[in-house]
């Protein structure tokens, strides 16, 4: 009797894990096919959504989405940014212009896509950044870690 009950519980847990995995793959597919509206309005990147899976240097410092901008006193970091990003796993350049750059990052396993934008504010000697997941709630701090990795690579 106990053995049948344990077998039933195990089968249920395996089925639950399969369904959860399929849902994650489906979310990854959705994120790859989404149309997104990005860019900047006079140097202001889009605001982060309410979900915690976004960081922005233009959010209010008290906001949990806030991350420091990348200091760039002489413009050398902006000049190297494209090379750094193109060398990162999962990165795809969408556009790189005089003051604005937009990249997508795709995770290996599930194929989730994150949007990462940069605005070079030479008058402020900083590169503003916004990194956001397209779907879901939690990103396990992937966007914050990515920005810090980019900052370190530019040092």
78: CATH: 3.30.310
CA-CA distances (angstroms) from residue 1 to 5, 6, 9, 10, 87?
A: 6, 9, 13, 14, 58
Identify whether 62 is part of a domain.
yes
Identify whether 82 is part of a domain.
yes
Identify whether 24 is part of a domain.
yes
Rounded distance between C-alpha atoms, residue 148 and residue 154, angstroms? 10
Identify whether 41 is part of a domain.
no
Rounded distance between C-alpha atoms, residue 112 and residue 131, angstroms? 13
**How many domains does the chain fold into?**
1
Rounded distance between C-alpha atoms, residue 139 and residue 94, angstroms? 22
Q: What is the pLDDT of residue 118?
A: 98
Interval 10-43: pLDDT, tens: 878 877 777 656 565 555 555 556 567 677 788 8
Interval 43-69: pLDDT, tens: 899 999 899 999 999 999 999 999 999
Q: What is the pLDDT of residue 8?
A: 78
Q: What is the pLDDT of residue 24?
A: 59
Per the confidence metrics, is the pTM higher than 0.85?
no
Rounded distance between C-alpha atoms, residue 98 and residue 100, angstroms? 6
Identify whether 43 is part of a domain.
no
Identify whether 19 is part of a domain.
yes
Range of the domain at 129: 2-36+49-154
Rounded distance between C-alpha atoms, residue 126 and residue 108, angstroms? 31
Average confidence score pLDDT of the chain: 87
Q: What is the pLDDT of residue 139?
A: 82
């Amino acid at each position: 009797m106990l053995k049948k009950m344990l077998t039933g519980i195990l089968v249920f847990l395996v089925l639950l894990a399969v369904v959860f995995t399929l849902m994650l793959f489906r979310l990854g597919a959705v994120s790859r096919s989404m149309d997104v509206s990005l860019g900047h309005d006079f140097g202001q990147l889009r605001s982060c959504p309410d979900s915690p899976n976004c960081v922005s240097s233009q959010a209010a410092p008290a906001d949990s989405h806030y991350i420091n901008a990348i200091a760039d006193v002489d413009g050398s970091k902006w000049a190297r940014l494209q090379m750094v990003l193109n060398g990162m796993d999962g990165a795809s350049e969408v556009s790189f212009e005089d003051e604005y750059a937009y990249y997508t990052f795709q995770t290996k396993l599930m194929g989730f896509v994150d949007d990462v934008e940069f605005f070079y504010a030479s008058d402020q000697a900083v590169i503003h950044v916004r990194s956001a997941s397209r779907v879901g709630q939690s990103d396990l701090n992937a966007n914050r870690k990515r920005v810090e990795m980019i900052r370190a690579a530019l040092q």
